[in-house]
Amino acid sequence: MWAMVAKEFRELRRDRRTVAMMVVLPVVLLVVFGYAANFSVSNIPTVVTGPQAAQAAALLRAPFSVTEVDRGAGQATARSRLQDGRATVAVVTGGAGTTVLMDGSQLFPVLTAEGALAKLAAAHGGGRKAPPVRVRILYNPKLTTSWVMVPGLAGLILVFIGTLITSLGVVRERQTGTLEQLAVMPLRAWDVIAGKIAPYLMVAAVDLVLIILIGMGLFHVPFAGNVGTFALGAALFLLVTLGMGVLVSTLSQNQGQAIQLAFMIMLPQVLLSGLIFPVSSMAPGVRWISWILPLTYFIQISRGVMLKATPITALWQPLGLLTLLAVVVLGLAIIRFRRDLAPSARSVRADEPVAATRELA
């Protein structure tokens, strides 16, 4: 038995990535997710409008964080702030009483806001006759969990297909030796990458449509917004995930390594993208991680468009950041893949004797 144990340890010592996964990953995961996994919300962006906006704003305490007080604005402005995602709660004063509008696509912040509002009413409503406060939850009035989850899960499934399946496809080519043959064929690196990605892109697009349709059919998730905006966001997001797949493949020698790496990329997206835990309630030390994850932006876009009909003009930030991520990830993937495909294109150090290579047509 000792021979087996010694052999296994020797093998393990050479497989540094597995050792890292076994030792470092649990520690990192525990620390990061311990800080990220937080259902309680301490900061709810709130906008207050109407004639008594200033007085109402003065009454609001944490977790409400007043970001805008506008006496001249009415319910229309309040609604547009919620739709654009700039606020989760809007307090509209004036008229017959105060109306509190809440963004039902933000499940946990709304639940927290409801509780905080009840406490506030109890504290201030006792003495004199308080004006009536009406609470209206927009976009997801019954706070149905599936309405919030389906648009996010669609993204998660695309991460899975995009990153894992694409990387396996490319690594298989490397393992069987056909990648070497492709390198010798008169194909440009870009032709190979584009040709490799395009089928997965199409399958993933079909998958996405299927997931959304099933979500709408089975869970009655609404699709309130513009299909074009959603398609644009989805296309950018797919490009990022497929680019990550190619990148993973260039860092992996075999399918096992590719699966390990793909999971290391997928796991943080499940927990840190805002799919389950609200990004706003994560500790600042780990919150920045969610800002470099493509799923974070896709979720903003998909929930915004599907549930709130958020216009494209209000989504420029996630769309722009997804574009940036797509450029960076695909760029890196292409650079690394080119190195695999065309070693002769590698830069030669100045002090190296340059070998003469002649290609005769």
Partner 1 sequence: MIWGLEDVRVTFGRRAALDCVTVPVEPSRITVVVGGDGAGKSTCLRTLVGLLEPRSGIVRRPAKERTGYVPATAGLYTDLTVQENLDFCADAYRLAAAERGPRQTEILERTGLAAARHRLGGQLSGGMQRKLAVGLALLHSPDMLVLDEPTTGVDPVSRAELWRLISGAAARGTAVAVATTYVNEAARGSSVVLLEAGQVLASGSPDDILRGVPGAVGSARGRARPGTRSWRRGADWRVWAPDGGLPDGIARVRPDFEDAVVVAALAGEEKAGER
Residue 140, φ and ψ in degrees, nearest 5: -145, 70
Rounded least distance, CB 150 to partner 1, Å: 34
Which residues form the interface with partner 1 (CB under 8 A)?
176-178, 180-187, 342-344, 346, 348, 352-353, 355-361
Rounded least distance, CB 344 to partner 1, Å: 5
Closer residue to partner 1 (CB): 126 or 343: 343
Rounded least distance, CB 335 to partner 1, Å: 17
CA–CA separation, 229 vs 48, rounded Å?
A: 29
Rounded least distance, CB 351 to partner 1, Å: 12
Closer residue to partner 1 (CB): 182 or 231: 182
Q: Tokens representing 139?
A: 């976009």
Pairing of strands 89-92, 98-103: antiparallel
Rounded least distance, CB 185 to partner 1, Å: 5
CA–CA separation, 189 vs 101, rounded Å?
A: 53
Rounded least distance, CB 166 to partner 1, Å: 16
**Beta strand ranges found along 132-185 (DSSP E):** 133-138
* Max Cα distance, the chain (Å): 95
Closer residue to partner 1 (CB): 145 or 181: 181
Residue 332, φ and ψ in degrees, nearest 5: -60, -45
Element housing 73 (H / E): none
Closer residue to partner 1 (CB): 5 or 359: 359
Q: Residues 6 or more apart from 314 whose CB is under 8 A from it?
A: 83, 84, 85, 304
Closer residue to partner 1 (CB): 11 or 191: 191
Do residues 273 and 299 make contact, with C-beta atoms less than 8 angstroms apart?
yes
Closer residue to partner 1 (CB): 11 or 180: 180
Based on its alpha-carbon atoms, the radius of gyration of the chain, rounded to whole angstroms, reads 26
